[in-house]
Structure 1
Amino acid sequence: MTDRKPYRHRFPLTIIQHALWLYHRFPLSERDVQELLHQRGIQVSHETLRQWNIKFAPLLTEELRHRESRRGSRWFLDEVCVEIGGKKFWLWRAIDDTGATLDVLLQAQRDTHAAKTFFESLLANYDVPDTVHTDKLWSYGAAIRALPVLHAVEHLQVISSARCNNLIEQSHRPTRKQERSQLGFKNPRRAQEFLALHARVSNLHQHTRTTVPARNRRLNQTKAHLAWHRAVDTAV
């Protein structure tokens, strides 16, 4: 990555990308990242980090999504309640059969219209799946019936605690960690932008867990960091 400075920014790109990576990779608050940078002699305020997120998060989300490999043909969908600014919202999430996040979408409702909107968002970026796994929420079935392109798709509904749906249930855990680290989300739009980029960064590091041999883990981490650097260099 070049050490250039983005237009009208006094910090070089290497610092901006590292700050954003820390914020979206680990359950850290903006003030936590500020302190970590300060420890390295870099004086960046938490407000500056907030502005970097507002400006660059949507660009990085799209760049990383375009760079992702082809996703599986089995989709797992679920929704969880998230409180933002004292109001209840629903975070809709879809992952494939490898556990990679396809998309996340914050919506105020948990009805057929919301489910249909989420399916349309998914279909705008991915091929029609072979199978869709959901819980027993009736809105999923109604939305699938309302979208002709999904009529031939196998729809499997299971209770949330069922083993075959554990993949999607577990995928909500990083979001909950980030929510706690930030003492809750404050603004729906900013929360959507944060969660969208957070999901893409999580996909990058999907294979860097400690359950693989150390040599493979280090190799996967190197690949993830290189992909992040290239995405930032292109998008910013």
Structure 2
Amino acid sequence: MTDRKPYRHRFPLSVIGYALRLYHRFPLSQRDVQELLHERGVQVSHETLRQWNIKFAPLLTEELRHREPRRGSRWHLDEVCAKVGGVKHWLWRAVDEYGDVLDILLQEHRDTQAAKSFFVRLLGEYDVPEVIHTDKLWSYGAALREIPVLHDVEHVQVVSTARCNNLVEQSHRPTRQQERSQLGFKRRKRTQEFLALHARVSNLHRHANHRSRHPQTKPSIRSSSPLARGDAAGGLRIKPPAALLRRHSG
């Protein structure tokens, strides 16, 4: 597949993908990414980087989601407070037993309806799990009782202060780093899109590090990553996904 330029864009998808990878993989601001691209001879403004994120981040998130391997059957769920535009929100997160993020959902409430919405979202993408680990928030149990397919799933409640649910607790840390680097989140929709892609890119690098520690393990075709390819300029680049080329071809 050739590295074509999207319609009415000056740079090819490899450059756009490399910029998105830097921004979502490391706690960098858009001006930091602008300087790193300038060192590689790419003259681009931070406003252009912002437009790239708005336009391509949702498409890239969907592409990476379809390329991920099959997830585990044990879910660990937790919610953390996050302010978006000065308003208190709750970031619901689910990871499997290997620490890979299954999904995230930013909501304004921390009640049964919010927990049910998150469970329905997860069941739309993954099979019914064997075990669900949560803290002692009563909304989880109430939501599980309202979803028939989850009635037979074992529900394990742990004490948050005892760090028994450490897998998902540790998964919150990169989000806090990104929040500090951006001086807080401003808009709910953009925050949801940003954190969704950030989670997918983090999953991708977790698998890349695992393969580097165990070189005898061969990656499957489905888990082969569009980020795991080098370009002539050095570093990693995103192979132009078919969805991007069909939607933004010139």
Gaps of 5+ in 2: 230-236, 245-250
Offset of 1:4 from its aligned partner?
1.2
Aligned length: 231
Query: For each residue in 1:4-40, what CA deviation from the matched residue of structure 2 results, as whole angstroms up to 9, or x when unmatched?
Result: 1011111111110110111111111111101111111
Which residue of the partner structure matches residue 123 of structure 1?
123
Q: Secondary structure at the match of 2:160?
A: coil
The answer to whether residue 64 in structure 2 is matched with residue 64 in structure 1 is: yes
Offset of 1:226 from its aligned partner?
2.8
Distance change in 2, residues 1:52/1:185 (3 Å): same
* In structure 2, distance between residues paired with 1:74 and 1:161: 21
CA contact (8 A) 2:75 2:96 kept: yes
Cα RMSD (Å)? 2.1
Kindly report which structure 2 residues correspond to 1:175-186, keeping only aligned pairs within 5 A, or say none: 175-186=175-186
Task: Find runs of 4+ consecutive structure 1 residues off by over 3 angstroms.
Answer: 161-164, 207-210
* In structure 2, distance between residues paired with 1:38 and 1:101: 32
Which residue of the partner structure matches residue 238 of structure 2?
229
Offset of 1:209 from its aligned partner?
4.6
Query: For each residue in 1:92-147, what CA deviation from the matched residue of structure 2 results, as whole angstroms up to 9, or x when unmatched?
Result: 00000010000000000000000000000000000000100000100000000011
Q: TM-score, normalised by structure 1?
A: 0.91
CA contact (8 A) 2:18 2:238 kept: no
Which residue of the partner structure matches residue 108 of structure 2?
108
CA contact (8 A) 2:5 2:12 kept: yes
User: Quick check: which one's helix share is greater?
Assistant: 1
Query: For each residue in 1:191-210, what CA deviation from the matched residue of structure 2 results, as whole angstroms up to 9, or x when unmatched?
Result: 00000000000000114459
* In structure 2, distance between residues paired with 1:112 and 1:191: 23
Gaps of 5+ in 1: none
Bigger RCO of structures 1 and 2 (CA < 8 A, at least 6 apart): 2
Q: TM-score, normalised by structure 2?
A: 0.87
Kindly report which structure 2 residues correspond to 1:196-215, keeping only aligned pairs within 5 A, or say none: 196-209=196-209, 213=213
